[in-house]
Amino acid sequence: MNMHDQSGSAKLLRTARCASIAKHAGRRAFALAAALSLSACSALTTPSAPTAFMATGDLGTIIERADGSVTLINNTRNEIIGRVTGLGDLSHASIVYSRDERFAYVFGRDGGLTKVDIVNQRIDKRVMQSGNSIGGAISQDGKLIAVSNYTPGGVKVFDADTLALVTDIPARYVNDLGEEKQSKVVGLVDAPGQRFVFSLFDGNEIWEADFNQSPPAITRFKNIGKQPYDALISPDGRYYIAGLFGEDGLAMLDLWHPEKGVLRILPDYGKGEQKLPVYKMPHLEGWAVAGKHAFVPAVGQHEVLTFNMETWEATGKIPVHGQPVFVMSRPDGREIWVNFAFPNNDTIQVLDAETLQIKKTLKPGKAVLHMEFTPRGEHVWVSVRDDDKVKVYDTRTYEVLAELPAQKPSGIFFTHRAHQTGL
Amino acid sequence: MNMHDQSGSAKLLRTARCASIAKHAGRRAFALAAALSLSACSALTTPSAPTAFMATGDLGTIIERADGSVTLINNTRNEIIGRVTGLGDLSHASIVYSRDERFAYVFGRDGGLTKVDIVNQRIDKRVMQSGNSIGGAISQDGKLIAVSNYTPGGVKVFDADTLALVTDIPARYVNDLGEEKQSKVVGLVDAPGQRFVFSLFDGNEIWEADFNQSPPAITRFKNIGKQPYDALISPDGRYYIAGLFGEDGLAMLDLWHPEKGVLRILPDYGKGEQKLPVYKMPHLEGWAVAGKHAFVPAVGQHEVLTFNMETWEATGKIPVHGQPVFVMSRPDGREIWVNFAFPNNDTIQVLDAETLQIKKTLKPGKAVLHMEFTPRGEHVWVSVRDDDKVKVYDTRTYEVLAELPAQKPSGIFFTHRAHQTGL
């Protein structure tokens, strides 16, 4: 265990933020409110000064991968409201939120776990919990933060309030030589019933950990397929599906029926990936479900695949502009938005979920890494890494509504994720 | 038009709230935070003083129907945090939230529309917009509030910021005598694409109003069935379904295909309601969808009905304890929770969504009016009107975790609804 409490430094965009508060308060004719807000702003001599009138339902974070920082945004006013720095290596980072939406837990590539207070725009706590980590999740009740690690492998589970270590799950397996080893862990998600589910890349296993008891009750599913490299859970938290790097098809666990074991579905998935170099393995957590169809990125092909979620049978292939990375459903399910791997990563395509036709092709700029829809779907935010900007689109007219500066932006995460399972 | 700006009075539970902030801050060792919070609390000489450190993701409101007030709660700590009074007749009231979760819009039975600032625990604005209203909705972009009226009928649409009237839609129709009349309006919901959809009780019509233009473009669907009395929209915002008081079956509009018109589905729905007196028409907005099945309350029968959402065919009947009122899916879809009309309204039954068996029968107390799940489903809050309390249950163990006092509580609304369509 390698835990250091690093308080870190937080930098505020004070002027812009306070001006915005004053304008906002003034427009609504709250004399007292304006006075208090301005006074709070002029008193901002430390990064821990509180913000008056804060509601958090329309806030979000953008990972700035090169700088180890997150930009804080408001998705009603399409504005940057602050920035927090000192988060370490964010080259493959992700974020989950506390159930009150006050804290963003940032999982860094270097094993850093940082709890950012987005209301007060500062680092609340930070621990180095491993040498190399790949993602995390927050428990159903919001009390536990789990992190999956490459080095030394395994899963560590922390108290969401204090970041104190609660449980260490080394994820040991026995290899072909009969040796006990610790596995890299991937595809970590939260599931209903206070559970975490994850996959052992080296161990070829899926584990389900039930945290209704302490230590957690762990159920191991062995020989699920070679080298699971990522996974998703369906929006209702029922189906856990892992992609396999070492063979074709996908490994599926029905969490309502663990007694049925792990099944192989879509046996052709990944086949033919040798035909083209695979520039980037697609993100499985981006799978879209619209009606009874699920839309998934093909591996190494210029295609989006569809399958039926009742029969688990492939139903079609949609030719697209490049190798898809994220395949995401607009919240109303009417459209599927797709971005692509290098060298086609300047483009987004929008598919009609019913006709399966390409409806629109957009060119946001150089290196489109991620998309995040506002919760009710009227806008989508797009990070354009090599242009150092984030663009906000109207999803009805496809117009650009705003462009915001960000340093090498990657993942975008809005606070409504606090209320969803499996993110 | 009958609009009065009534500032109203707001009452804070100051002592309890400030003590809670101090305890909270102290536990987390924020010296500065605690100092600032306490100072804010001791300065609470007016109800408009701001709250520092407010995150709003785990807040909610409970309607106290007899007192014309709402109790404000925190669903992480299972605590009451405040109370706002002066909201008029709340005997059939409902609430929607602004997209930042700061404001609760309360639709009163007396035509009052009140914008409650839940961060500062006060009435922000209040208008009397009709003589008798039955519900409301907030537009996809959060900028418009629509209210459906009985007296004088029609829909009024307000600016969400100022509560200024934006559009009046009188909902006129021509009756059998050839006279133009204004219809009572029911089943008002928001739909994706900045639309509102509603039904004309007297006019036997469904209207879709597209607010991407001003005045809105209105599409009328006539002769949809006699006396639509309530409606629901599917969670993705695609299917609008109205219940018919004057005949059997349901009227369904596929908003992806308005050119197909309104179809009659489940032709036997409501049949046989004469066999038992109907104590209360069920709430259609409570319909549960789990997998491909939808679960709906039978009218006047001790049954929950199931139907297939692809074929729209009835698939079964589940005998239950009384006439169901709300039939709600736990967020993970694994269980269906049902409450009942008088005289069986002391009971909740829990159905297994897969086996369709009754799993558990609970007796929360006298007059169980409403249930609200925490967004990820680990708890459910239950209002027990005649016992003047709200009970919080663990949905895994069915244990009561907390009991909170409330005056004749009815609807319970958590802030994550800000991010959902059709509520």
Two structure tokens written together for A196: 């975490």
Please report the pLDDT score of residue A377 as a whole number. Answer: 97
**Given a cut of 90, is residue B19 above it in pLDDT?**
no
Q: What angle do CA B313, B315, B318 make, to 5 degrees?
A: 140
Q: B46-81 as b/e, with b when 16 or more CB fall inside 10 Å?
A: ebbbbbbbbbbbbbbbbbbbebbbbbbbbbbeeebb
Give the whole-angstrom CA distance, residue B167 versus residue B186: 18
Give the whole-angstrom CA distance, residue B51 versus residue A55: 10
Least confident of A17-21, A253-257, B73-77, B334-338: A17-21
> Which residue among A58, A141, A331 places its CB closest to the CB of B99?
A58
Amino acid A189 reads: V
Residue A167's pLDDT band, with cuts at 50, 70 and 90, is: very high
**Contact across the interface for A142 and B76, Cβ inside 8 Å:** yes
Alpha helices in B166-284 (DSSP H): none
Rg of chain A's alpha carbons, rounded to an integer? 22
For B351, the enclosing helix (H) or strand (E) is: strand B348-352
Please report the pLDDT score of residue A326 as a whole number. Answer: 93
Q: What is the 3-state secondary structure (H, E, C) of A246-272?
A: CCCCEEEEECCCHHHCEEEECCCCCCC
Does A72 map to a domain?
yes
Neighbours of B24 (CB within 10 A): 16
Q: A414, A56 in Cβ contact below 8 A? A: no
Please report the pLDDT score of residue B171 as a whole number. Answer: 96
Q: Do A162 and A99 belong to one domain?
A: yes
Q: Do B385 and B241 belong to one domain?
A: yes
Nearest CA-CA distance, residue B5 and chain A, Å? 15
**Given a cut of 90, is residue B3 above it in pLDDT?**
no
Q: B3, B128 in Cβ contact below 8 A? A: yes
DSSP letter (8 states) at residue B274: G
> Which residue among B28, B50, B55 places its CB closest to the CB of A119?
B55
For B25, the enclosing helix (H) or strand (E) is: helix B14-27
Within an 8 Å CB–CB cutoff, is residue B199 touching chain A? no
> Which residue among A54, A140, A256 places its CB closest to the CB of B376?
A140
Within an 8 Å CB–CB cutoff, is residue B256 touching chain A? yes
Q: Do A140 and A232 belong to one domain?
A: yes
**Given a cut of 50, is residue A42 above it in pLDDT?**
no
Mean pLDDT of A6-31: 31
Q: Do B120 and B196 belong to one domain?
A: yes
Pick among B44, B332, B394 to test the A interface (most A CBs inside 10 A): B332
> Which residue among A33, A37, A141 places its CB closest to the CB of B48?
A33
Whether ipTM tops 0.85, in short, is yes
State yes or no: cis peptide before B215, omega within 30 of 0. yes
Please report the pLDDT score of residue A25 as a whole number. Answer: 32
Mean pLDDT of A262-271: 90
Does B44 map to a domain?
no
Please report the pLDDT score of residue A404 as a whole number. Answer: 98
DSSP letter (8 states) at residue B12: -
Q: What percent of chain A lies above the pLDDT cut of 70?
A: 84
Task: Supply the mean pLDDT for chain A.
Answer: 86
Up-side HSE of residue B52: CA atoms within 13 Å toward CB? 28
Kindly give, in sequence order, each residue whose CB lies less than 8 Å from that of residue A260, ignoring residues fewer than 6 positions away. Answer: A254
**Contact across the interface for B30 and A51, Cβ inside 8 Å:** no
Please report the pLDDT score of residue B15 as a whole number. Answer: 28
Amino acid A416 reads: H
Give the whole-angstrom CA distance, residue B412 versus residue B10: 19
Q: What angle do CA B85, B157, B162 make, to 5 degrees?
A: 55
**Given a cut of 80, is residue B21 above it in pLDDT?**
no
Give the whole-angstrom CA distance, residue A274 versus residue A276: 5
Does A97 map to a domain?
yes
For A23, the enclosing helix (H) or strand (E) is: helix A14-27
Neighbours of A369 (CB within 10 A): 20
Q: Do A62 and A83 belong to one domain?
A: yes
A105-137 confidence digits (pLDDT tens):
999 999 999 999 999 999 999 999 988 888 999
**Contact across the interface for A50 and B52, Cβ inside 8 Å:** yes
Mean pLDDT of B90-114: 95
**Given a cut of 60, is residue A1 above it in pLDDT?**
no
Domain count across chain A: 2
Please report the pLDDT score of residue A4 as a whole number. Answer: 37
Nearest CA-CA distance, residue A123 and chain B, Å? 12
Q: Do A270 and A318 belong to one domain?
A: no
Mean pLDDT of B348-372: 97
Please report the pLDDT score of residue B203 as a whole number. Answer: 97
Q: A279, A224 in Cβ contact below 8 A? A: no
Amino acid B153 reads: G
**Given a cut of 60, is residue B28 above it in pLDDT?**
no
Within an 8 Å CB–CB cutoff, is residue B23 touching chain A? no
**Given a cut of 80, is residue A279 above it in pLDDT?**
no
**Given a cut of 60, is residue B29 above it in pLDDT?**
no
The residue from B345, B363, B381 where one domain ends is B363
Q: What percent of chain B lies above the pLDDT cut of 70?
A: 84
Contacts of B418 in chain A (CB under 8 A): 57, 375, 416
**Contact across the interface for B57 and A140, Cβ inside 8 Å:** no
Within an 8 Å CB–CB cutoff, is residue A246 touching chain B? no
Nearest CA-CA distance, residue B82 and chain A, Å? 16
Q: Do B231 and B302 belong to one domain?
A: no
Amino acid A53 reads: F
Within an 8 Å CB–CB cutoff, is residue A223 touching chain B? no
Residue A344's pLDDT band, with cuts at 50, 70 and 90, is: very high
Nearest CA-CA distance, residue A365 and chain B, Å? 26
Please report the pLDDT score of residue B284 as a whole number. Answer: 73
Residue A288's pLDDT band, with cuts at 50, 70 and 90, is: confident
> Which residue among B36, B333, B415 places its CB closest to the CB of A236?
B333
Rg of chain B's alpha carbons, rounded to an integer? 22
Give the whole-angstrom CA distance, residue A415 versus residue B111: 33
C-alpha closest to that of B232 among B172, B190, B173, B270: B190
**Contact across the interface for A331 and B192, Cβ inside 8 Å:** yes
Please report the pLDDT score of residue B285 as a whole number. Answer: 66
Please report the pLDDT score of residue A287 as a whole number. Answer: 65
Please report the pLDDT score of residue B43 as a whole number. Answer: 30
| B:116-175 residues touching chain A, CB 8 A cutoff | 119-120, 140-142, 161
C-alpha closest to that of A195 among A246, A140, A244: A140
C-alpha closest to that of B203 among B154, B251, B137, B167: B154
DSSP letter (8 states) at residue B49: P
- Bridge-partner residues for A362, per DSSP? A348
Backbone angles phi, psi at B397, to 5 degrees: -100, -15
Up-side HSE of residue B58: CA atoms within 13 Å toward CB? 23
Does B376 map to a domain?
yes
Q: How many A-B residue pairs are in contact by the CB < 8 A criterion?
A: 173
**Contact across the interface for B193 and A76, Cβ inside 8 Å:** no
Q: What angle do CA A200, B333, B396 make, to 5 degrees?
A: 75
Give the whole-angstrom CA distance, residue B155 versus residue B227: 17
Does A47 map to a domain?
no
**B40 three-class SS:** helix
- B189 or A268, greater pLDDT: B189
Q: B107, B128 in Cβ contact below 8 A? A: no
**Contact across the interface for A377 and B140, Cβ inside 8 Å:** yes
Q: A237, A231 in Cβ contact below 8 A? A: no
Within an 8 Å CB–CB cutoff, is residue A360 touching chain B? no
Question: How far from B408 is each of B65, B366, B412, CA to CA, in Å?
Answer: 6, 11, 12
- Residue A285: left (phi > 0), alpha (psi -120 to 50), or beta? alpha
Mean pLDDT of A375-392: 98
Q: A301, A276 in Cβ contact below 8 A? A: yes
Q: Do B108 and B190 belong to one domain?
A: yes
**Given a cut of 90, is residue B280 above it in pLDDT?**
no
| CATH code of residue B107 | 2.140.10.20
For B69, the enclosing helix (H) or strand (E) is: strand B69-74
Task: Supply the mean pLDDT for chain B.
Answer: 86
**Contact across the interface for B28 and A161, Cβ inside 8 Å:** yes
**Contact across the interface for B36 and A30, Cβ inside 8 Å:** no
Q: Do A383 and A237 belong to one domain?
A: yes
Give the whole-angstrom CA distance, residue B94 versus residue B358: 29
B56-95 confidence digits (pLDDT tens):
999 999 999 989 999 999 999 999 999 999 999 999 899 9
Residue B270's pLDDT band, with cuts at 50, 70 and 90, is: confident
Residue A41's pLDDT band, with cuts at 50, 70 and 90, is: very low
C-alpha closest to that of B148 among B169, B124, B175: B169
Nearest CA-CA distance, residue B177 and chain A, Å? 41
Closest residue of chain A to B163, computed from CA coordinates: A28
Domain that holds residue B212: 54-282+369-419
The residue from A345, A363, A381 where one domain ends is A363
Q: Do A219 and A85 belong to one domain?
A: yes
Which class for B247: exposed (0-12), middle (13-18), buried (19 or more C-beta within 10 A)? middle
Within an 8 Å CB–CB cutoff, is residue A32 touching chain B? yes
Pick among A20, A21, A56, A260 to test the B interface (most B CBs inside 10 A): A56
Contacts of B49 in chain A (CB under 8 A): 32, 36
Backbone angles phi, psi at A25, to 5 degrees: -65, -40
DSSP A158-192: EETTT--EEEEE--EEE-TTS-EEEPPEEEEEEET
Residue B346's pLDDT band, with cuts at 50, 70 and 90, is: very high
- A257 or B274, greater pLDDT: A257
B374-410 confidence digits (pLDDT tens):
999 999 999 999 999 999 999 999 999 999 999 999 9
Closest residue of chain B to A125, computed from CA coordinates: B28
**A210 three-class SS:** strand
Pick among B352, B376, B399 to test the A interface (most A CBs inside 10 A): B376
Q: What percent of chain A lies above the pLDDT cut of 90?
A: 74
The residue from A342, A363, A384 where one domain ends is A363
DSSP letter (8 states) at residue B301: S
Q: Do B140 and B229 belong to one domain?
A: yes
Please report the pLDDT score of residue A309 as a whole number. Answer: 85
> Which residue among A76, A331, A419 places its CB closest to the CB of B375?
A419
| CA trace torsion B400, B401, B404, B408 (10° rounding) | -30
Instruction: Report long-range pairs for A268-277 (Cβ below 8 Å, ≥24 apart).
Output: A268/A314, A269/A243, A269/A296, A269/A299, A269/A305, A270/A243, A270/A244, A270/A299, A272/A300, A272/A301, A273/A299, A273/A300, A273/A301, A274/A300, A275/A300, A275/A301, A276/A300, A276/A301, A276/A302, A276/A323
Give the whole-angstrom CA distance, residue A101 versus residue B337: 27
**Contact across the interface for B56 and A100, Cβ inside 8 Å:** yes
**A38 three-class SS:** helix
B193-245 confidence digits (pLDDT tens):
999 999 999 999 999 999 999 999 999 999 999 999 999 998 889 999 999 98
Mean pLDDT of B412-421: 97
Mean pLDDT of A331-353: 96
DSSP letter (8 states) at residue B383: E
Does B10 map to a domain?
no
Please report the pLDDT score of residue A16 as a whole number. Answer: 31
Please report the pLDDT score of residue B7 as a whole number. Answer: 34
Does A218 map to a domain?
yes
- B265 or A20, greater pLDDT: B265
Contacts of A101 in chain B (CB under 8 A): 55-58, 101
Does A36 map to a domain?
no
Q: Do A129 and A213 belong to one domain?
A: yes
| CATH code of residue B358 | 2.40.10.480
